[in-house]
Structure 1
Amino acid sequence: MKNKILVVVMILGMISCQNKDKTDDKSIIKTIAEDTLSKTVAGTADVSDAPVKDDKAVELIRKQLNVLLKAELQAMTKDDRFFYYDAFDLNNDQKNEYFVGFANPYFCGSGGCTGYILNNDGSVINKFTVTDFPILVTTSPTEKFYDLIFETGGKFHVLKMKNGKYPSNPSVQEVWKGDIPKENTKVLDIQGKKLEKYSF
């Protein structure tokens, strides 16, 4: 009889341990889900692997590039006619501006590449030259637009909005002194972020 009671106690103990493990698993999953949800709501979750692209933005950029580069289209090969873009609200108006960049010999040389910053309606804020990607958006504004940090020639340069435009040649702008702040946002990270390539 004692042996039977001992066996029953052992079985009950094993079942309760299994239930405890299941409860712990559920608790861990719940904690992870709550953490991810809170980070997503707060805007601190890493969603860089989830490329959400706006087809309207692609069409807008494609149309604008065909206008801006109309005189050059005949000289371009099919491989030259691709762009990358990233969206970022530079002036907190709840509308994204578009950073447009290229990664081919037509637009890039030893000094860096050419690119554009477009308004949400497709109009040009800036054409820039001799830059490497990514571009960094700082947390400090000038004329209601965030300052930008461009890398060119192995140095980081600060670009500030002046009279509605950023300077077009980053290499002649003020050199950033010290470490680059971690809170800056990378845009147009063509190599690192694996942005999608679009034809125009």
Structure 2
Amino acid sequence: MRNKIVMAFMILGMISCQNKDKNESKSIIKTIAEDTLSKTAAGTADVSDAPGKDDKAVELIRKQLNILLKKDLPAMTKEDRFFYYEAFDLNNDKKDEYFIGFSNPYFCGSGGCTGYILNNDGSLINKFTVTDFPIFVTTTSSDKFYDLIFETGGKFHLVKMKNGKYPSNPSVQEVWKGDVSKETTKVLDLQGKKLEKYSF
């Protein structure tokens, strides 16, 4: 009888130890998860090893850049071969167009940078030069596409779609008088937003 009582206490002791270990394990996991969530929300989590966003748009843009820049590629360094992009539906057809920008010496000079606007299928709408980022999308439109405001040489210029193209050199377009309104949307805000950088 005594042996049975001792055995019962031993079994109860083992079960309580196992439960304690499980609870401690759950508690540690919960603490790590809560810490990661709070750091992510605060923007202090280390996400340097996190995989970058790699979607169909990125692959489409990569493919098109390799075609558009075919003659340039041999002269470009590895550091030159990256881009930023932002999607925006410029003509309200429920399909995004893509603004592509660069921020390295191959594409940028004292006058500004080169960039592209692509259709949703990857075809070229425009190549533009001598511009600073961001680009502003206004609420007005021409030829069913929103008008754009580019900054170049410290001045804002209004760029309107005409015959399926935006003018490629914003600096020779109409100077925008006054402030850029709050209703405009910034795209390719390379300094203000943390935009993902992609290689091509």
Look up the equivalent residue of 1:186 and give its one-letter code.
K
Once the two structures are superposed, residues 82-133 of structure 1 have per-residue CA deviations (whole angstroms, 9 ceiling, x without a partner) of 0000000000000000000000000000000000000000000000000000
Normalised to the residue count of structure 2, the TM-score between the two structures is: 0.73
1:91 corresponds in structure 2 to: 91
Residues 150-178 of structure 1, C-alpha deviation per residue, up to 9 Å, x if partnerless?
A: 00000000000000000000000000011
Q: Letter of the 1:74 partner, please give it.
A: P
CA distance in 2, matches of 1:170, 1:59: 28
What SS is found at the alignment partner of 1:182? Answer: coil
Rounded Cα–Cα distance in structure 1 between residues aligned with 2:176 and 2:54: 33
Does residue 160 (structure 1) correspond to residue 160 (structure 2)? The answer is yes
Q: 1:137 Cα shift? A: 0.1
Deviation at 1:53, TM superposition (A): 5.4
> What value does the CA root-mean-square deviation take over the aligned residues?
1.1
1:195 is the counterpart of 2:173: no
1:101 is aligned to 101
1:179 deviates by 1.4
The alpha-carbon deviation at position 54 of structure 1 amounts to 6.2
**1:53-101 Cα shifts (integer Å, max 9, x gaps):** 5600000000000000011100000000000000000000000000000
Counterpart residue number, 2:143: 143
Which whole-Å CA distance do the structure 1 matches of 2:179 and 2:128 have between them?
A: 24
| Long gaps (5+) in structure 1 | 1-51
Q: What number of residue pairs does the alignment pair up?
A: 149
Distance 2:160 2:71 in 1: 30
Q: How does 1:110-121 map to 2 (within 5 A)?
A: 110-121=110-121
Question: Cα 1:142–1:53, aligned 2, differ >3 Å: closer, same or farther?
Answer: farther
Q: Distance in 1 between matches of 2:94 and 2:53?
A: 17
Q: Which runs of 4+ in 1 moved over 2 A?
A: none
Paired with 1:100 and 1:146, the residues of 2 have a C-alpha distance of 17
Cα distance in structure 2, aligned partners of 1:93 and 1:53: 25
Q: What residue in structure 2 maps to residue 61 of structure 1?
A: 61
Match for 1:163: what amino acid?
N
Q: Against the structure 1 CA distance between its residues 137 and 53, is the aligned structure 2 distance closer, same or farther, given a 3 Å change threshold?
A: farther
Partner of 1:47: none
Rg comparison, structure with higher value: 2
**Given the alignment of the two structures, is residue 170 of structure 1 paired with residue 165 of structure 2, yes or no?**
no
User: Counterparts of 1:62 and 1:190 in 2: how far apart (Å)?
Assistant: 19
